[in-house]
Amino acid sequence: MMTVKKKIAVVGSGIAGLSAAWLLGRQHEVTLFERHENPGMGAFNLTYKEGDFEERIDVPLRAFNTCYYQNLVAFYKAMGVEIQRTDHSAAYSSNDNRSVYFGYRYVEFGKRAFPVFAGLSKINPKSVRIARDTGRFLLFAKRDRRKGLTDGLTIEHYLRANQYSSVFIEEVIFPSFAAICTCSYAAVKQYPAEIIIDFLASGMLFNGIWRAKRGAEDAIHKMLENCHTLHCNAEVESISKHNGKVKISERNGNEHEFDHVVIAVQANQAVKMISADESAAGKLLKKIPYERSEVVVHGDTDLIPRAERDRAPVNFLLESHQDKPMASIWLNKIYPSLENRSPLFQTWNPLREPEEGTVLGRSHFERPTVNLESLAAIKSLNQLQKQNNRQVWYCGSYAMPGIPLLESAVQSAMGIAQQLDVEIPWPVN
């Protein structure tokens, strides 16, 4: 059956907008609007230079695994984006980086990669309790979820009610998820238990961590291949229905009309651009909370553990009275090209300022968090998007009932493509 080619606008070129543009562009004419001068998924990337050597660094560095992120991995494969395993072994320290209380490294075994204690120095009563609780969680949390025992519970409520040790809860789960979800401990505590369990029990702990081999820009380039027109430096101000079409007004006064508009900006930004006839969606979007944080790229080794043997590719530092940990990724361990170069780090939430001369770049990000109320709102938004004759669509990592990650962004774009009868060229997971 011949499909009628429609004019579709996608507003926002983070991974959600880019995925939507790639999928919808296979059958329709897609125009992408982005307020930054480059596609948003790579808008904060920077170039590291050392003599004649240059390397593009992804900011933030986005990693994934091959079991929770099945649609992302299939999408990358369909586009020919190569992926590579990276070493995301971790060390957790407190007390100004003086004491490392827990650490693991990955041991590769064919396609799998298993976390094991990172050396005898990390085996102590605390780390044994953490390992025991991790095993217990992996054995029982999925079962509890299946039996409905986690329904309506926050992750904090579930863990405390099941008497997990406070060291497992406060010194591993909270800091790890504060980093994974880019948010405060207060926000992690409010995450619905089911979401964290689905993530951890997906088998991810045994599949290692991966990244796009040639960085985000290779993926962006390929995601743009079905896009008819890309407008950068194009800030959309308002979206409204007009004579059976959807009108987009840019801040600079330009106006355009489309058959459909996919709004792939953050929920709190989408609310500002929609008109009164989208008030039902607007009410739901307002329920998504956001938190801001900073990422610094620098070369200051003082932000990771002092002893060489305690250092890992990912280094967490917890300090009392702080509302989130500091997490420093040692980029030389992630980028093969940086292996023998000067130390380079990407630190999320710097609890201490890196030495000024070593700072290469600073970026600020706003990220959605999830609580029981926002999860319910997202489920309702997904129902709303199933109504017939929709022309305005909401797309983003925030828009699926899970942790807002690359996978949920791709899933969200897939959902809209399916509503518009566009075939997904991989088995849908």
Select the residue interacting with ligand FAD from 22, 44, 48, 64 (CB under 6 A).
64
Q: Kindly state the smallest distance separating residue 219's Cβ from ligand FAD, in Å.
A: 11
Under rule CB under 6 A, residue 90 binds ligand FAD: no
Quick check: 30 and 178 in contact, CB under 8 A? no
Site for ligand FAD in 110-169 (CB under 6 A): none
Q: Does 62 bind ligand FAD (CB under 6 A)?
A: yes
Q: How far is the CB of 404 from ligand FAD (least distance, A)?
A: 5
Of 141-149, 300-308, 386-394, 397-405, the window that binds ligand FAD (rule: CB under 6 A) is 397-405
Please say which residue, 235 or 259, places its beta carbon nearer to ligand FAD: 235
**Contact pick of 238, 269, 380, 382 for ligand FAD (by CB under 6 A):** 269
The distance of closest approach from Cβ of residue 253 to ligand FAD in the complex, given in angstroms and rounded to an integer, is 14
- The single-letter DSSP state of residue 207 is B
Residue 36 is a binding residue for ligand FAD (CB under 6 A): yes
Q: Does 198 bind ligand FAD (CB under 6 A)?
A: no
Among the residues of 174-306, which ranges form H helices?
A: 174-180, 185-190, 193-200, 215-223, 267-273, 279-285
For residues 373-386, one letter each, b for 16 or more C-beta atoms within 10 angstroms of the residue's C-beta and e for the rest, the string is: ebbebbeebbeebe
Torsion 228-231-236-242 (CA) sign: negative
Record the tokens describing residue 336, joined without a space.
């093969």
Confirm or reject binding of residue 12 to ligand FAD (CB under 6 A). Answer: yes
Contacts 24+ apart (CB under 8 A), 215-220: 215/45, 215/56, 215/57, 215/58, 216/41, 216/42, 216/45, 216/58, 216/62, 217/42, 217/45, 217/56, 218/81, 218/82, 219/41, 219/76, 219/79, 219/81, 220/13, 220/18, 220/39, 220/41, 220/42
Nearest-approach distance from CB 136 to ligand FAD, in angstroms: 26
Q: Segment contacting ligand FAD (CB under 6 A): 90-98, 187-195, 260-268, 381-389? A: 260-268
By CB under 6 A, the residues from 405 to 424 that bind ligand FAD are 405-406, 409
Count of chain residues binding ligand FAD (CB under 6 A): 35
**Helix and strand numbers, DSSP H then E, in the chain:** 13, 20
Member of 295, 318, 370, 378 binding ligand FAD (CB under 6 A)? 295
Stretch that binds ligand FAD, among 56-64, 86-94, 149-157, 332-340 (CB under 6 A): 56-64
Distance (Å) of CA 9 to CA 230, 343, 391: 10, 43, 10
Distance CA 166, CA 101 (A): 14
First to last CA, the chain: 26
Establish if 34 lies at the interface with ligand FAD (CB under 6 A).
yes
Q: Residue with CB nearest ligand FAD? A: 40
Residue 348 as a binder of ligand FAD (CB under 6 A): the answer is yes
Which of 154, 404, 417, 420 binds ligand FAD (CB under 6 A)? It is: 404
User: Measuring CA to CA, which residue among 83, 94, 82, 138 is closest to residue 115?
Assistant: 138
In the complex, minimum distance from the CB of residue 121 to ligand FAD, in angstroms, rounded to a whole number = 27
- Is position 35 an interface residue for ligand FAD (rule: CB under 6 A)? yes
Here's the x/- map for ligand FAD, 230-259, by CB under 6 A: it reads as -----xx-----------------------
Binding of ligand FAD by 182 (CB under 6 A): yes
Strands 361-368 and 392-394: unpaired
Cβ 370 vs Cβ 386: under 8 Å: no
> Which amino acid is residue 139, in one-letter code?
L
Distances (CA, A) of 246 to 11, 238, 255, 263, 274: 12, 10, 10, 12, 11
Q: Is 348 helix (H, G, I), strand (E, B) or coil?
A: strand
Looking at 46-184, list the stretches that DSSP marks H as alpha helix, in order from N- to C-terminal side: 70-79, 125-146, 155-161, 166-168, 174-180
Residue 159 or 234 having the CB closest to ligand FAD = 234
* Closer to ligand FAD by Cβ: residue 25 or 40: 40
- Is residue 42 at the binding interface for ligand FAD, with CB under 6 A as the rule? no
Question: Which of residues 241, 365, 372, 426 is near ligand FAD by CB under 6 A?
Answer: 365
Q: How far is the CB of 395 from ligand FAD (least distance, A)?
A: 7
Interface residues toward ligand FAD, by CB under 6 A: 11-17, 33-36, 40-41, 43, 60, 62-64, 182, 235-236, 264-266, 269, 295, 348, 365, 367, 396-397, 404-406, 409
